[in-house]
Structure 1
């Protein structure tokens, strides 16, 4: 009886740690779009993408070597490649390109779809069978976001909206694949090996896309590059994947719903961007739809 009680207490402690780690990860991710918005004003989107991946990859390689981590099995290379294409290359590049057409406050509304995209790919990859109500909420959430984009005038920034939608899709795939792989490879090891896997190509592309001179780059742009390289690309994932392993993907994944709120607050505070009541209303509506979808996901 006492042994069962101890096991239950350890399970509760582990779950609590998972929620805490997941929350830290989400807070870190919330600064990604505002920081990218600042950096992309002075760095080309492609260079910003490959440079941040290179910086994070070098740090990840040093950590793996220092802690003497064993190499991934051959069967884990394809999932790692998917993670790399989703969260190391795809999402950073697509959002950097999108932020040349839309504000970070506008783009953050689309981030409200990220939990839904993650859940959808978890269904496809994990073989789960959600209730029909799940898809009702999923469709409703997507309709709200598309409706918001139309109300803003697609002729103004159709490219930016499309790029953000594509970014959410590839990121959702990367999250779901990483969460699945973390159960066997380890939480923080997943993002580290994904970064290392893409490092040779990223370093070469960084050299080819580097501007002729960096003397004109301002301090805020350099700080933003440092943030998206170390925090958004590496440190945030250390907490995020650890949280998914400790607390469970379905439960801790709910914390992504807080990311739009944190992001909108940062965009208004740091960038002095206007956050309209419509943006807040759409964000709340998307969060409610995703919450409903997750409730009926099993």
Structure 2
């Protein structure tokens, strides 16, 4: 539960961070810190297990790890931070909540995983909920297609994460989850830093920086939302099992909306409440059905598959 609280807080922290600095600069700071800590944790884990630091055994493995950094770190965070600069943390949290079911859809198309009728119903309900959130419940918005740009951009975030999750399934056959995440974070950072430099050159503005609260937001994103959240998620899955852990993911948009109302003074409108409830119900419905169809021999679910 604390892990999902941290993940819900990332929407508030990111919203605050991009109010002080450009999106790519904020994302670079987040993952530069996270990469260092994840690399140290991976080295410590390897040492405790009596192994050397894991390295790709082939160019194909290296390309696979790079693809994780491209989709789950670089593209996801480019969309995540850019979208939150233009929309509210509440809307962002509710939109990104469709991650698990969008992953199920792409898994069915790409990996040929079976999707039953209950999952289809859950996916449909969630997508309808996202549409209500994006349209703010306004028929005028729908008829004129005058959607908030940030909401539309945020729709790309769960797509990137779904791609990252599917690619991660193959990588986890060769690397531990911690090592794969460390490499993804490192490769993503190597892509984010040049993008931040180009962003700065194009803007022609002074070198960006953060206030104390801004750096506090970055530290929350890097350490609590990325490193601690990852480690604690896996510890939780190992203790209570896949199915029970997956249900907790539905708390992320709830915590995101509540924290946004407290720290950013964002107000929940009826359309967001309705759409959010539809998203959460649809995700819960579809995810529970998906958990029941998994084989009992699987020890854990990938955090990449369940994490918003």
**Fold in common (TM above 0.5):** yes
Structure 1 residues 1-298: aligned runs within 5 Å = 23-66=1-44, 67=47, 68-74=52-58, 75-150=60-135, 151-152=137-138, 153=141, 157-179=147-169, 181-206=171-196, 209=199, 212-214=206-208, 217-241=210-234, 252-297=245-290, 298=293
Contact 2:61–2:171, Cα closer than 8 Å, also in 1: yes
The aligned length equals 275
TM-score by length of 2: 0.77
Structure 2 CA distance for aligned equivalents of residues 125 and 142 of structure 1: 20
Do 2:129 and 2:274's aligned partners in 1 also have CA atoms closer than 8 Å? no
Secondary structure at 2:86's aligned position in 1? coil
Q: Which runs of 5 or more residues in structure 2 are unaligned?
A: 294-308
Moved more, 50-59 or 117-126: 117-126
CA shift, 1:190, in A, is 1.6
Aligned mates of 1:52, 1:98 — CA distance in 2:
16
TM-score by length of 1: 0.80
2:301 is matched with none
Q: What RMSD, in angstroms, separates the aligned Cα atoms of the two structures?
A: 2.8
- Mapped contact 1:31–1:266 kept (Cα < 8 A): yes
More helix by share: 1
Confirm or deny: 8 A CA contact 2:74 2:192 kept in the other structure: no
Q: Which runs of 5+ in 1 are unaligned?
A: 1-22
Cα 1:56/1:86, change in 2 over 3 Å: same
CA gap of 1:60–1:212, structure 2 versus 1, over 3 A, is farther
Counterpart CA distance in 2 for 1:95 and 1:225 is 14
Question: How many angstroms apart in 1 are the aligned matches of 2:250 and 2:124?
Answer: 17
Quick one: distance in 2 between partners of 1:252 and 1:82? 27
Contact 2:22–2:208 at 8 Å: present in 1 too? no
How far does the alpha carbon of each residue in 1:207-254 deviate from its partner, in whole angstroms, 9 at most, with x for none?
Answer: 555663456x32211111222122323332233355567766665333
Deviation at 1:164? 0.9
User: Residues 103 and 269 (structure 1 numbering): CA distance in 2 closer, same or farther, change over 3 Å?
Assistant: same
Alignment deviations for residues 9-30 of structure 1 (CA, whole Å, 9 cap, x no partner)? xxxxxxxxxxxxxx44322211
